[in-house]
Amino acid sequence: MTTLLEEVKEARATLTARIKEHARALGFQKVGVVRAEALTDERARLEEWLRRGYQGEMSWMARDTERRTEPERFLAGARSVVVVALNYYTPHEHTGAAATGKISRYAWGDDYHDVLGEKLRALLEWIREQRPEAQGKVCVDAQPSMDKAWAARAGLGWLGKHSNLITREYGSWVFLGELLLDLELAYDDRPSEDHCGTCTLCIEACPTQAIVEPYVVDSRRCISYATIELRAPELPTEVGENLDGWLYGCDVCQDVCPWNRFEQACAEPRFEPREGNVDASLPAVLTLSPETFAARFRRSPVKRAKLAGLRRNADALLKLSHARKED
């Protein structure tokens, strides 16, 4: 004869299994569920990273550390975190054509905030159909949530030495998101092991030595940070002289990662490259007006750099090219 506690546990396990099944039906490749508890160790590492100034001019990283690491401060009564991973790899490559700049793979198609957010909101709507009293919050990068920390806790993958999450099945070419719920669910309590071993390829390959120690990135030296987030009129010298052809973002540490040999083409058509978003014409970038910039990069991650930033990056790449020709 089953007890009431056993019935409750069985009901939670059934609902959790159905949530995972529906998440996969919506297109997510990996799903995990963990208890919505404070990220104590992760907060300590974040605060040390901030203390070193590695956030650069990303001042928002130093705000709301409590909300980032304590789910109940973001959703009152939070009990569970449903963590998802969405593969975004498409089998295209940079051409290296003259007078072009490389764009990071994640920004080739539509903005992942829109795609991932749409799917998570659909998941929350489905959960409310099953449990009308449920309250939830969708988190996709912009919300105060530590995406990689939750994904690691949920066993979706492990943090690589380049600080990106790595999955065994899809490498690091995944977008991450969370759904905070005030429901008690059945929890995954087996975080993935770190499978980086003695490999240091990402550290050695970084053009600006931004990976200052395993698992720690100094944003101030990172090409992605400089070409996307930095609002200065000029790029820092150590970055500007070592752009390695990157106009927006940088994938070097991921490109050299041995785990990315397991990459799989994604099934989401919105992540297919838009025209000119793999290798962008540098002269064309310099001629963009505010109106043409807004039209070309509407609902694209590239808009994050702003027109002034993209022009600055294109100008730096052209100057580098001209200097090398003169040498």
Alpha-carbon distances of 306 from 203, 225, 229, 234, 288, rounded to whole Å: 29, 13, 9, 14, 11
Question: Among positive and negative, which fits the CA dihedral 208, 209, 215, 220?
Answer: negative
* DSSP-H helix ranges across the chain: 4-25, 40-51, 65-69, 112-130, 147-153, 201-205, 223-224, 237-240, 252-255, 282-286, 290-296, 306-326
- Of the candidates 41, 141, 147, 188, the residue annotated as catalytic is 141
Main-chain phi, psi angles of 156, to 5 degrees = -75, -25
Closest to 47 (Cα-Cα) out of 25, 69, 21, 79: 69
CA angle 123, 125, 127 (to 5 degrees): 70
Here the tokens at position 214 are 């395993």
Strands (E), 122-278: 136-139, 158-159, 165-166, 174-181, 211-213, 216-217, 246-248
Q: How many CA atoms within 13 Å lie on the side-chain side of 231? A: 5
The Cα 173–Cα 254 span in angstroms is: 8
For residues 251 and 104, the answer to whether their CB atoms sit within 8 Å is: yes
Answer yes or no: 141 catalytic.
Answer: yes
**Catalytic positions, written as ranges:** 141
